[in-house]
């Protein structure tokens, strides 16, 4: 399983569209362990580009602080589960907490 996490300065970006890069975290679902991590530079942020691109990278989940409703719909159309309201932490820690069911999320910080 691959989890996509938008990153700014080495930590989860509070808004996926403002990320400098994305971490693709590989998870072994059986052991609930992080097995790998790759940092990739996204294409230019334009409506609809990132959901398709992350789907092509193999992501099945995206975790972020905030994301607009239209973007959430586009991710879901590509079969990518959207998790919003995460707090700033390293991508590996966010993924580890999520796969173990321990990720605490708040409200979606994005209002568009």
- Angle at the Cα of 92 (from 88 to 96), degrees rounded to 5? 100
pLDDT tier for residue 14 given thresholds of 50, 70 and 90: confident
pLDDT digits (tens, 9 = 90+) for 40-96: 999 987 878 999 999 999 999 999 998 989 999 999 999 999 999 998 999 999 999
CATH topology classification for 2-99: Nucleotidyltransferase; domain 5 (3.30.420)
SS (H, E, C) 32-95: CEEEEEEEECCCCCCCCHHHHHHHHCCEEEEECCECCHHHHHHHHHCCCEEECCCCCCCHHHHH
pLDDT at 111 over 80: no
Closest listed residue to residue 11, CA positions, set 106, 66, 20, 111: 20
Task: State the residue for tokens 């309201």.
Answer: 85
pLDDT tier for residue 112 given thresholds of 50, 70 and 90: low
Alpha-carbon distance of 39 to 48, in angstroms, equals: 21
- The pTM (predicted TM-score) of the whole model is 0.92
């Amino acid at each position: 399983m691959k989890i996509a996490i938008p990153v700014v300065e080495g930590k989860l970006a509070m808004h996926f569209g403002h990320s400098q890069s994305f971490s693709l975290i590989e998870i072994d679902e059986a052991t609930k362990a992080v097995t790998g991590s790759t940092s990739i530079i996204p294409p230019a942020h334009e409506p609809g580009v990132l959901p398709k691109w992350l789907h092509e990278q193999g992501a099945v989940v995206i975790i972020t602080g905030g994301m607009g409703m239209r973007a959430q719909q586009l991710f879901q159309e590509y079969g990518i589960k959207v998790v919003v309201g995460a707090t700033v932490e390293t991508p590996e820690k966010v993924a580890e907490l999520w796969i173990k069911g321990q990720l605490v999320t708040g409200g979606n910080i994005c209002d568009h």
